[in-house]
Amino acid sequence: MVGALTRRGMLGGLVLLPSAAMAQSGTPELQGVLTARNAAAFGRFVSANEGKPVSLKLTAAPVEGRSFSVSLQAPLLLVNMDRPEKMQVSLTGGYTLRNGAFAMDWVYRVRAEGMQQGITILVLDPLDGGEVRRMRDAGVRRVAL
């Protein structure tokens, strides 16, 4: 009897595995307001997805600081941070300025550009609109910032 319950439990668990895997397979989407306080989490998210598409639904006010900054150097939106390491994330498009803050509501591919003067450079290249719709329609895995 114990063996039968164990097998039945295992079979039930195997049936659930594909749906759990599907829930985890969506494009990760980082959501929230980017600030100096959570910049390290943003940096970790971007670097962990190197070479992959990521969806962002973020806002960030322009900030100039030593350890964290968000600035427009057209056509690039630059996010510089000292944590988790000295890093610059450059968005080549897919952002707008709304009510004095930058809105990043798009899907990007993360590209590593190496290191310059001890600073890790990551670039977020916006995908075309059709690909964005397809990926978001297929489902995203929401990640709070």
pLDDT above 70 coverage of the chain, percent: 83
Residues 1, 86: Cα–Cα separation, whole Å:
59
What's the average model confidence in pLDDT over 128-143? 96
Question: 71-78 contacts: CB < 8 A, separation 24 or more?
Answer: 72/97, 72/102, 77/102, 77/104
What pairs with residue 111 in β-bridges? 123
Query: 6: which 2 tokens?
Result: 């164990």
- All residues at 6 or more sequence positions from 124 whose CB lies less than 8 Å from its CB, including other chains: 46, 54, 56, 89, 90, 91, 92, 94, 108, 109, 110, 111
* Tens digits of residue pLDDT in 34-90: 999 999 999 999 999 999 999 999 999 999 999 999 999 999 999 999 988 999 999
Residues 27, 30: Cα–Cα separation, whole Å:
10
- pTM, full prediction: 0.81
What's the average model confidence in pLDDT over 6-32? 58
What pLDDT does 84 receive? 85
The residues spanned by each domain of the chain are 27-144
What pairs with residue 90 in β-bridges? 78, 123
Residues 124, 43: Cα–Cα separation, whole Å:
12
Chain-centre distance for alpha carbon 138: 17
What pLDDT does 24 receive? 54
Asked whether the predicted pLDDT for residue 8 surpasses 70, the reply is: no
Asked whether the predicted pLDDT for residue 21 surpasses 50, the reply is: no
Q: Model confidence at 128, in pLDDT bands (50, 70, 90)?
A: very high
What pLDDT does 14 receive? 42
Query: 134: which 2 tokens?
Result: 């397809």
Q: Model confidence at 141, in pLDDT bands (50, 70, 90)?
A: very high
